[in-house]
Amino acid sequence: MNSSMNGKLLEIRDLSAGYSASVNIINDITMWVEDGEILTLIGPNGAGKSTLIKCLCGLLRYSSGSILFKQKEINGLKTHQIISQSIAYVPQTNNVFSRLSVEHNLDLGSLAHPQSRDQRLVHVFELFPDLKRYLGKKAGILSGGQRQMLAIARALMSSPKLLLLDEPSAGLSPLFRRQVFEHVTKIKETGVTVVMVEQNAKAALKISDRGIILAEGKLRLEGTAEEVLQSSEIGEIYFGAQNGSDA
């Protein structure tokens, strides 16, 4: 799959961050995200993938380096200020408000652009028609796969330019896993840039333009999805640990 190469939407320069001042989880990460592409971050557990995503949406302050979104530094901004710049993040777990209805969940996604709520609703129902049936129901009754769909739909309600997905296929049945990747492809076709952290490396890279391998908090490889899939690093770092099994 070819990158659209429309320019850098997100740039990360020499980024180091961790959960305590003395220990960094990620070190000197330099990478970028092209406008309109799907970029997959892969790596073994503890590689720093989720830490990196948390830095991108302001949940974690970084100790050094910089993050530029649309050429503007986002350091020092609070999470809601970063999210209001058309970045949407879907956490891996606890990603819907289970006591609220499906409709309320979707409404909360359109906080930044309430005037385009109805228009966005039509758009997300085109992608996730199943959600229409559950509109008035509490999100807590949905299955794991349906919750993931709702979480992604809510993120799309904010008309994001950049969508950050943290292991969207984790814990899902093979059917829902396939559906998630199909949806991500469709989302990209609407002009949304997607950065996806995934453990199902092969399936994720198949729909991606580029891939990045992180290991022990450092960037080990960056390239097109094809290059990353064919690389020896992926065997050593990732597939080796899983005996080559993948979705």
Partner 1 sequence: MIQFLIDGLVNGSIIALGAVGLSISYNVMRFANFAQGEVMAVGAYVSLGVLALMGLGIGKMGPVSFGWPLLVSILFSIMMTSIVVLITDLLVFRRLRDKDSSRITFIIVAFGISLIARNVIHLAAGGDQQFYSFYIPRAVQVFEGLKIVPDDMLILLITVLCVVLMHTFLNRTLIGKKMRSVAENPSLARVIGINVDQVIRGSWILGASLAAVSGTLHAHITQLDPEMGFELILPMFAALIVGGVTSIYGAVLGGLLIGMSEAIAVAIGWSSYRGAVSFLILILVLILRPHGILGEKERDA
Contact residues: partner 1, CB under 8 A: 57, 59, 78-80, 83-84, 88-89, 91, 94-100, 104, 107-109, 111-112, 114, 154-155, 158
Q: Is the dihedral of CA 60, 63, 65, 66 positive or negative?
A: positive
Nearest CB to partner 1, comparing residues 64 and 81 = 81
Cβ 100 to partner 1 shortest distance, Å: 6
* Residue placing its CB nearer to partner 1 in the complex, 36 or 91: 91
The torsion angle over the Cα atoms of residues 227, 173, 92 and 114, rounded to 10 degrees, is 100
Q: Between 153 and 213, name the residue whose CB sits nearer to partner 1.
A: 153
Name the pairing type of β-strands 87-90 and 162-166.
parallel
Nearer to partner 1 by Cβ, of 12 and 96: the residue is: 96
Residue 35 C-beta: closest distance to partner 1, Å: 21
Amino acid at the residue 222:
E
The candidate with the shortest Cα–Cα distance to 96, out of 86, 106, 82, 83, is 106
Q: Taking Cα atoms as reference points, which of 36, 29, 28, 40 lies closest to residue 224?
A: 40
Min. distance of Cβ 99 from partner 1 in angstroms?
A: 5
Q: Which is nearer to partner 1, 107 or 227 (CB)?
A: 107
Give whichever of 43 and 91 is closer to partner 1, judged by the CB atom.
91
Please tell me the distance from the alpha carbon of residue 88 to that of residue 193, in angstroms, as a whole number. Answer: 10
Closest approach of partner 1 to the CB of residue 67, in Å: 16
CB of 80 to partner 1, least distance (A): 5
For residue 130, the 8-state DSSP code is G
Nearest approach in angstroms of CB 89 to partner 1 is 5
Q: How many CB atoms lie within 10 A of CB 159?
A: 17
**Tokens encoding 205:** 């890279």
Enter the tokens of residue 38. Answer: 């799907």
